[in-house]
Amino acid sequence: MSFVKIDKLVKRYGSLSIFDGFDLAMENTDRLVLIGPSGCGKSTLLRCMMGLEDIAGGTIRLGDETYVEGAENGKMKLNRKVQKEVGMVFQHYTLFPHLSVLGNLCLAPVRSRGIGKAEAKDKAMDLLTRFGLADRAEFYPSQLSGGQKQRVAIARALMLDPKLMLFDEVTSALDPELVNEVENTMMALAEAGMPMMIVTHDMFFARNIATQVVFQERGKVIEAAPPEELFGNPREERTRNFLRNVLHIEG
Amino acid sequence: MNYDFDWFYVKKGLPKLLEGLMVTLELTLWANAIGLVLGFLVALGMLTRIRLITWPLTAYIEFFRCTPALIQLVWFFFCVPILFNVWWSAEFMGILALGLNLAAFNAEAYRASIQSIPTAQTDACTALGLNVVQRIIFVILPQALLLSLPVLITNGIGIFQQSALVALISVQDLMYEGRYLATQTFRPIETLTTVALLYFAVSFPVSQMVTFVERRTSRLLQN
């Protein structure tokens, strides 16, 4: 039984259909990278997995529990206990601007998981030290660079010991010279064995970090394969066209 | 212009003017207490989107925003006693009218700030497993309050100035004492200028503070 299983997912925005019976599976040793043209539903898929989107049909399972069960007319069922085992980092940081770095890390553990303040703080400092951000603990988000903000956002998600991490274009809003520090942090996390689903436009990073790359178009999986295969020898014509476009390869 | 300035009577009357200023400040503080608390509750009521709650609140807000503060004050002073058979002091009526007026404006400031917090913040809360109540208390409201602070202070100091209207219902505030002194001494220029300067002396530092607070909050909340 796979670690994550998305089954017959149906997602619509009004009359616009994003997914109409979408399936995807992933193992807990996987780092799944989703690629595809803009508007093909990559980010929407992550948002569905986080329980941020109301889905009209299908199910999403994590471990041995189905935690999202779609239904028409906003009657979707969401198991919050399992939802809490999923962590997510967004494109635009979404740190809490009124709290310090430490405050950002400790808010959810203290307020929603009932962890003691001192314990949370210790854990936060450990994480920040690991990320080379210990000297920024008392800073406010507005005093940080984009790369630092994004690493704080990753640390904030890790505070809750997620079993699965979702990364939604986390380097897209960054200045080019700041992309590396965030990608390195994610690589370190990957080496530590964290299962991840990643949406990115950075094909080189995708190739480096992925165990499995999924090429998606118009709400359908066109091709899924290990990175060497998908980038080196794509089977589908549409995958080849897409890669040619984004990698600017002639012919 | 051929006018000999004579500040003798102003100097002599200054303690009385300062007494009036104290009354004005007292009115301002009470009106602000009502305005900050009631305005907040009204804003929360508006955000419930329950029509039974929002319709009367909308009527209240729009009524107080779309009529002159002067008529509100005079109406409270003359009509409330007749309609409800209550006989409260002019000062209390003044506080009530000014407070309700300020609450209407503050409610809009609170509501606008709460609604301007990006939905991405809500998504981040959900992703961190915070529930609705935790989200509102620990994430949305602190940011909204910081964001509304400059407007709340501006409204508050506006009420300080508007409070001069209570002189018309014979509350012995700064304006009342100033006019009294001016007519008693036949020295309107010296007296009324002094009164204006006293209002200015209180308002100006506060309005400068608004600029400072605004800069600080916008820098903090930029993302």
Token pair 């807000």: residue: B61
pLDDT digit string, tens, across residues A96-136? 999 999 999 999 999 999 999 999 999 999 999 999 999 99
Side-chain half-sphere exposure of A39, counting CA atoms within 13 A: 3
Give A66's strand partners: A61
Spatial distance between the Cα atoms of A192 and A182, rounded to a whole number of angstroms: 16
pLDDT at A250 over 60: no
- Which is nearest to A24 in space by CA: A9, A43, A44, A41? A9
User: Which domains does chain B show, CATH number per domain?
Assistant: 20-222 (1.10.3720.10)
Q: Give me the interface pTM, i.e. the ipTM.
A: 0.90
From chain A, pick out residues whose CB is under 8 angstroms from the CB of B219: 142
Spatial distance between the Cα atoms of B123 and A48, rounded to a whole number of angstroms: 12
Global pTM? 0.86
From chain A, pick out residues whose CB is under 8 angstroms from the CB of B223: 92-95, 97, 141-142
CB distance A125 to A111 below 8 Å: no
Spatial distance between the Cα atoms of B184 and B178, rounded to a whole number of angstroms: 10
Select the residue from B126, B128, B137 to test the A interface by mutation, using most A Cβ atoms within 10 A.
B128
Size of interface A-B (CB pairs under 8 A): 71
Q: Give residue B182's pLDDT.
A: 92
Select the residue from A112, A156, A167 to test the B interface by mutation, using most B Cβ atoms within 10 A.
A112
3-state secondary structure chain B: CCCCCCCHHHHHHHHHHHHHHHHHHHHHHHHHHHHHHHHHHHHHHHHCCCHHHHHHHHHHHHHHHCCCHHHHHHHHHHHHHHHHCCCCCHHHHHHHHHHHHHHHHHHHHHHHHHHHCCHHHHHHHHHCCCCHHHHHHHHHHHHHHHHHHHHHHHHHHHHHHHHHHHHHHCCCCHHHHHHHHHHHHCCHHHHHHHHHHHHHHHHHHHHHHHHHHHHHHHHHHCC
Q: Give residue A248's pLDDT.
A: 75
Q: Give residue B222's pLDDT.
A: 77
pLDDT at A38 over 90: no
Flag if A111 and B134 touch (Cβ within 8 Å): yes
What is the residue-level pLDDT of chain B in tens, covering all 223 positions? 788 888 888 899 999 999 999 999 999 999 999 999 999 999 999 999 899 999 999 999 999 999 999 999 999 999 999 999 988 999 999 999 999 999 999 999 999 999 999 999 999 999 999 999 999 999 999 999 999 999 999 999 999 999 999 999 989 999 999 999 999 999 999 999 999 999 999 999 999 999 999 999 988 887 5
CB distance A170 to A119 below 8 Å: no
Spatial distance between the Cα atoms of B223 and B212, rounded to a whole number of angstroms: 19
* pLDDT more than 90, % of chain A: 82
pLDDT at A210 over 50: yes
Strands A4-13 vs A212-217: parallel, antiparallel or unpaired: unpaired
Token pair 């007749």: residue: B82
| Structure tokens given for A18 | 């994003």
Q: Give residue A246's pLDDT.
A: 87
CB distance B18 to B12 below 8 Å: no
